[in-house]
Structure 1
């Protein structure tokens, strides 16, 4: 098993299987105790066992991240293909509308939602997906407008192929590489936005065991109780790095076979 797969599988296994063995995640001792008997990773600012919190906190952040990414690409890929295929007025309408969304900083959007009382996991997922939509659409459009792709598309149209068959049968396969690569790198950005949103109180409650929330809540104790911050941060870093490495390996094998 390669390094990329190890970095990806370990956080996934902890996120999925951890809640089954986590045990009690309520306050069980004094806050910020160092690692010791009964608490291998010490306790957090709420007096919860660090190991139990980390074992139970991976699934929420993983679920929110995957949901936001899936929504962004489910909307962005068809929009990008449509803009590239139609061009002209339709292309301008799609891209200029998305430029308006792109003009607003992501954190500003999240702060406005938090200030206006729009909170909860569903709002958070939708907000993060929307702010990622312009970048995803631009990437898909640019890949679909690449010279090599356009020549093949025009040849397929001349052969009498339907629009849907050309777009889904050829163009979608052509842009798969850039989309997968972008998704791997965008994972880290989405995690950052989710952590920031939770810190603002937009998504999960402040006492949630979510890794991003735990890191934000315990940042002040980095020097006195570093394990409660560094362990979940390391798992998130491993997840991002592993995703990128595995995506690169899959794309490399795909290029060799083709």
Structure 2
């Protein structure tokens, strides 16, 4: 009874707060470029007014228009990096969990353990100095940097699921590896995947934004929320909106994603308890 009451008290609130935090950044990222219109004549005006709702930055560009244009690169890169990271890590981890041969499992996973010791941002920076990636290349680098952590978490859950009698029954029945791996084992660990995906998406947002802040993946004058924070940071006291608004949008997207996934997991846990 107490477990159900605790779940009910937290679930709806998490959904509401998560939806509220994520709605603004997502709408701006998806619809902002359609609403931005044509760039007007540049005129430096740090205070709102004269057709500039949030004023202009130090180069005379309208801050509100830059915000409308700057969400899509960050959001799409983070989503693409998260999806690609799982697409690369999931088959590898499922193969290691289902192999039944310790030496093969070690061969698949131990190289990833070495990479875990290296900070993800350092890996991205080292690769970027050689490859000089654009936005798509940055998403690929962020995905590759996330693979070792994803593999470690998913493997820990998949090993337990692979040892269940249902998996052995499917093997004896002659089911294909793909049917066992994705139809049974991956389905059994979906709640772990959902919880980890929230963490990975937040990490990807942070890494993409940090890389853009450092000038990787996006041009220094690009309309990008992270680039806006970096470009306008020295003039924070003169033009705070150009820094505060994009920073809050990135933070809201990350926090809202975690809250929604947390609420979904609590809801799934209550259903499992009732059954």
Q: TM-score, normalised by structure 2?
A: 0.84
Partner of 1:77: 90
For 1:213 and 1:136, the matched residues in 2 are separated by 28
Match of 1:88 in 2: 102
5+ unaligned residues in a row in structure 1: which ranges? none
> How many pairs are equivalent?
256
Q: Is the 8 A contact 2:142 2:207 kept in 1?
A: yes
1:21 alignment partner in structure 2: 35
Equivalent residues of 2:121, 2:207 under 8 A apart: yes
Distance in 1 between the 2:26 and 2:242 partners? Answer: 19
Picking from 249, 254, 258, the partner of 1:244 is 258
Q: Deviations over 1:61-119 (max 9, x none)?
A: 11111111111011111111111111512211111121233233222223323433522
Q: Which runs of 5+ in 2 are unaligned?
A: 1-14
State the Cα RMSD in Å: 2.2
Report the counterpart of residue 183 of structure 2 in structure 1: 169
Q: What is the DSSP-based 3-state SS (H/G/I as helix, E as strand, rest coil) of the residue aligned with 1:57?
A: helix
Tell me if structure 1 keeps the 8 A contact 2:213–2:229.
no
Distance 1:27 1:194, change over 3 A: farther
CA distance in structure 1 between the aligned counterparts of 2:108 and 2:57, rounded to whole angstroms:
47
Report the more deviating stretch, 209-218 or 107-116. 107-116
Preserved contact between residue 215 and residue 227 of structure 2 (Cα < 8 Å): no
CA separation in 2, counterparts of 1:92 and 1:27?
61
C-alpha displacement of 1:136? 0.4
Q: Tell me: CA distance 1:155–1:206, structure 2 relative to 1, closer, same or farther (3 Å).
A: same
Q: 3-state SS of the aligned residue for 1:130? A: helix
Tell me how far 1:246 sits from its aligned partner.
Answer: 1.3
Corresponding residue for residue 110 of structure 1? 124
Quick check: 1:44 aligned with 2:62? no
C-alpha deviation, 1:139, in angstroms: 0.7
Q: Give 1:184 deviation, angstroms.
A: 1.1
The match for 1:160 is: 173
Instruction: Report if the CA contact (8 A) 1:80-1:139 is conserved.
Output: no
Q: Structure 1 residues 44 and 204 mapped into 2: Cα distance closer, same or farther (>3 Å)?
A: same
Tell me the CA shift for residue 54 of structure 1: 0.3
Once the two structures are superposed, the pairs formed by residues 175-254 of structure 1 within 5 Å of their partners are: 175-254=189-268
How far does the alpha carbon of each residue in 1:126-147 deviate from its partner, in whole angstroms, 9 at most, with x for none?
111111000001111001123x
Aligned to 1:64: 77
**Range with bigger deviation, 88-97 or 153-162:** 153-162
Post-superposition Cα deviations, 1:197-229, rounded to whole Å, max 9, x if no partner, equal 223332010111111111121222223221111
Distance in 2 (alpha carbons) for counterparts of 1:208 and 1:26: 17
The alpha carbon displacement at 1:9 in A equals: 2.0
Alignment deviations for residues 164-220 of structure 1 (CA, whole Å, 9 cap, x no partner):
322222211121111111111222221221122223332010111111111121222
